């Protein structure tokens, strides 16, 4: 069975979705808040995470940022479930590194289809490991050779200081390169940029 993690603070909505997904054959672990969800993700390493956006304490964006920053959990498919369905909300969700953004109320058939599509895509990428021997393929993303080098190391989980030491430059230079990389890739976080890099290197 596929193991899903559902992070949703509304008790009735959480149980409704979890029960419907279990009926479809998924194993569903439940979390009522962001911190609990992150803890479960670290202990259980689910196949996919469904997360509400608006929650007390850690909101969905904070949960996603924490997971994408984790080298072990960063590649887990992540789908936002939210009542915020305006175009600007969708864009914010996607540039934050989410794999999909579904608005409530969501039909269970649409939710299951989105889950299966993301799992299939993740599986196809996982079957072919990224080639980390050269930054050359990253030039196709519109990056300069130096930016491609920086992204190659960031995608391997290196911090700014570690990448600076490896490339023989200052940490400020790495930060400036990352600003340009994020702008060119249309993302705001290093986790989202890393996923794009790994997918490109695995293609």
pLDDT confidence of residue 92: 62
Q: Could you tell me the domains of the chain?
A: 3-127 (3.40.50.2300), 136-202 (1.10.10.10)
pLDDT confidence of residue 57: 87
pLDDT tens string for the chain (203 positions)? 689 999 999 999 999 999 999 999 999 999 999 999 999 999 989 999 999 988 888 888 899 989 888 877 888 899 988 876 556 655 665 566 778 888 878 888 888 888 888 887 777 655 566 777 889 999 999 999 999 999 999 888 788 888 888 888 999 999 999 999 999 998 888 888 888 888 888 77
**Nearest 5°: phi and psi at 151?**
-65, -35
CB 13 within 8 A of CB 104: yes
pLDDT confidence of residue 93: 57
pLDDT confidence of residue 69: 84
CB 4 within 8 A of CB 49: yes
In sequence order, what are the residues at sequence separation of 6 or more whose Cβ sits closer than 8 angstroms to the Cβ of residue 115? 2, 4, 21, 26, 48, 50, 79
- Cα–Cα nearest to 32, from 10, 5, 54: 10
Distance in angstroms (rounded) separating the CA atoms of residues 86 and 173: 36
CB 51 within 8 A of CB 76: no
pTM over cut 0.75: no
């Amino acid at each position: 069975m596929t193991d899903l993690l559902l992070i949703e603070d509304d008790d009735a909505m959480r149980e409704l979705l979890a029960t419907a997904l279990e009926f479809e054959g998924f194993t569903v672990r439940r979390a009522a808040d962001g911190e609990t969800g992150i803890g479960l993700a670290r202990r259980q390493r689910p196949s996919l995470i469904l997360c509400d956006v608006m929650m007390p304490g850690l909101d969905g964006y904070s949960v996603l940022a924490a997971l994408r920053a984790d080298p072990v959990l960063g590649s887990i498919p992540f789908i936002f479930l939210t009542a915020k369905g305006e175009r600007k909300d969708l864009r914010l969700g996607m540039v934050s590194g989410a794999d999909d953004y579904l608005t409530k109320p969501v039909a269970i058939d649409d939710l299951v289809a989105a889950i299966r599509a993301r799992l299939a895509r993740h599986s196809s990428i996982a079957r072919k490991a990224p080639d980390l021997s050269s930054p050359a393929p990253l030039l196709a993303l519109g990056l300069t050779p130096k930016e491609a080098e920086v992204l190659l190391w960031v995608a391997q989980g290196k911090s700014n200081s570690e990448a600076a030491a490896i490339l023989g430059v200052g940490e400020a230079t790495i930060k400036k390169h990352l600003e340009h990389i994020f702008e060119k890739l249309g993302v705001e976080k290093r986790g989202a940029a890393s996923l794009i890099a790994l997918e490109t290197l695995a293609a």
